[in-house]
Chain A
Amino acid sequence: KAGVTQTPRYLIKTRGQQVTLSCSPISGHRSVSWYQQTPGQGLQFLFEYFSETQRNKGNFPGRFSGRQFSNSRSEMNVSTLELGDSALYLCASTTGDRVEQYFGPGTRLTVT
């Protein structure tokens, strides 16, 4: 099976802009979670989607949002970008009834 894929792999944006990141889970996986990784804060949970519904949400401002499509692909959107949003954004998928998550290669977002 193909692994979790994320696009784009690298992105440079300017403060105030918005950005959309995409994640395609492993075939058959219906749960998709998003994490932010920064040197200062480490790995932090953003949100999880299952069957097009947000099931869990981390402590991030409303500028961070996401959605999931009927084919389980997920997108996350960050509006009004700030310098502190520069990070590696990781997507992970699982079947929904299992706990181990499988990660994609990440999207490196740089905000200037």
Chain B
Amino acid sequence: AQTVTQSQPEMSVQEAETVTLSCTYDTSENNYYLFWYKQPPSRQMILVIRQEAYKQQNATENRFSVNFQKAAKSFSLKISDSQLGDTAMYFCAFTGGAQKLVFGQGTRLTINP
């Protein structure tokens, strides 16, 4: 069974700083996909970024980028120039392609003014 672990329950940084959220996963599959979702206080889950396991290049979406280390089964999210609107729960998620997402426990990120 696949598992996803987020070891940082909470993090707090100042606005404009860079922050990195950690995620490790366990799977025996070779082809899979990894995601970071953001859940603000409104509870709406928002897709932040995705990474295909077969791609060596790390995904980037504006201020959000990932560090994907396939051998280490690590998938961290870096948020650059953090903004107050980035305050949210962040979930790392895995799927082997079966439309079933396995989520980590989440990291509560607070951006302070």
Chain B: minimal CB distance from A97 (Å): 10
Q: Looking at the complex, which one of B44, B50, B100, B104 makes contact with A100 (CB distance below 8 Å)?
A: B50
Question: In the complex, which residues of chain A have a beta carbon less than 8 angstroms from the beta carbon of B35?
Answer: 100
Answer yes or no: A66 CB below 8 A from chain B CBs.
no
- Residue contact B99 to A56, C-beta cutoff 8 Å: yes
Answer yes or no: A48 CB below 8 A from chain B CBs.
yes
Question: In the complex, which residues of chain A have a beta carbon less than 8 angstroms from the beta carbon of B50?
Answer: 99-100
- Residue contact A56 to B103, C-beta cutoff 8 Å: no
- Residue contact B44 to A33, C-beta cutoff 8 Å: no
Output the nearest chain B residue to A93 by Cβ-Cβ distance: B99
Answer yes or no: B95 CB below 8 A from chain A CBs.
yes
User: How many Å lie between the Cα of A33 and that of B100 in the bound state?
Assistant: 8
Answer yes or no: B72 CB below 8 A from chain A CBs.
no
Answer yes or no: B111 CB below 8 A from chain A CBs.
no
- Residue contact B100 to A90, C-beta cutoff 8 Å: no
Answer yes or no: B67 CB below 8 A from chain A CBs.
no
What is the interface of chain A mostly: helix, strand, loop, or mixed?
strand
Question: In the complex, which residues of chain B have a beta carbon less than 8 angstroms from the beta carbon of A55?
Answer: 98-99
* Number of chain B interface residues as a range: 20 to 34
Answer yes or no: A102 CB below 8 A from chain B CBs.
yes
- Residue contact B100 to A48, C-beta cutoff 8 Å: yes
Chain B: minimal CB distance from A76 (Å): 15
Offer 25 A-B interface pairs, CB within 8 angstroms, sorted by A: A35-B101, A42-B103, A42-B105, A42-B106, A43-B101, A45-B100, A45-B102, A48-B98, A55-B98, A56-B98, A56-B99, A58-B100, A90-B45, A92-B45, A92-B101, A94-B99, A99-B50, A99-B97, A100-B33, A100-B47, A101-B47, A101-B99, A103-B45, A105-B42, A106-B44
The 4 closest A-B pairs by CB, nearest first: A103-B45, A43-B103, A48-B99, A99-B33
A interface with B by C-beta (< 8 Å): 31, 33, 35, 42-45, 48, 50, 55-56, 58, 88, 90, 92, 94, 96, 99-106, 108
Q: A92-B101, A104-B44, A108-B43 are in contact. List 7 more A-B contacts (CB 8 A).
A: A35-B101, A45-B101, A48-B99, A50-B99, A90-B45, A99-B33, A105-B42
